[in-house]
Amino acid sequence: MYDKIYRPDILKSVWLRVKENKGSAGIIPAQVKVVEHVRHVYICRACEQEGITTPVITAPMPAPVLPGSFVSPSFMVFVINRKYREGLRLYRQEQQLRHFGWDISRQTMANWMIRGAHD
């Protein structure tokens, strides 16, 4: 790709600016973090002060992938993908997650996969 640079005193292009691009392969390591979900609760302050009963309005929270579990869809896909596509056994994943500071047992990960297949 190039741009022509014009000199107004000559009224024609004198310079040719050429843009060179170079790509390189890079890896962004996996990040394991807690994703906080915030929901807002709305209460009528004026109604509360006057003693009027009004309903509390609450925004819904995102539905969990597995009821009663903290696993997110992306984390579950991460574990399943590494197990079945990359052939990485759960005990190895358990060890690697410990390096991130997460103590998630292979039994828990196996239960996620079983429940995910049935739910």
Summarised one tens digit per residue, pLDDT across range 19-36 is 778 888 887 887 888 889
The per-residue pLDDT of the chain, averaged, comes to 84
Q: Is residue 73 part of a domain?
A: yes
Q: Where are the alpha helices (DSSP H) in 1-119?
A: 45-50, 73-84, 90-99, 106-118
What is the pLDDT confidence band of residue 104, given thresholds at 50, 70 and 90? Answer: very high
Pick the residue with more confidence: 49 or 92? 92
Q: Is residue 28 part of a domain?
A: no
Q: Is residue 83 part of a domain?
A: yes
Among 94, 62, 65, which residue's Cα sits nearest to residue 79? 94
pLDDT score of 111: 95
Domain span at residue 85 reads 36-118
Six token digits for residue 10: 């000559």
Q: Is residue 85 part of a domain?
A: yes
pTM: 0.63
Q: List, in order, residues 6 or more apart from 108 with CB less than 8 Å away.
A: none
Six token digits for residue 105: 């047992």
Among 26, 35, 31, 98, which residue's Cα sits nearest to residue 71? 35
Count of Cβ atoms closer than 10 Å to residue 99 Cβ = 8
Total number of domains in the chain: 1
* pLDDT average, residue stretch 80-98: 96
Q: How far apart are CA 14 and CA 7, in angstroms?
A: 7
Among 11, 57, 63, which residue's Cα sits nearest to residue 37? 63
Q: Is residue 20 part of a domain?
A: no
Q: How far apart are CA 114 and CA 83, in angstroms?
A: 13
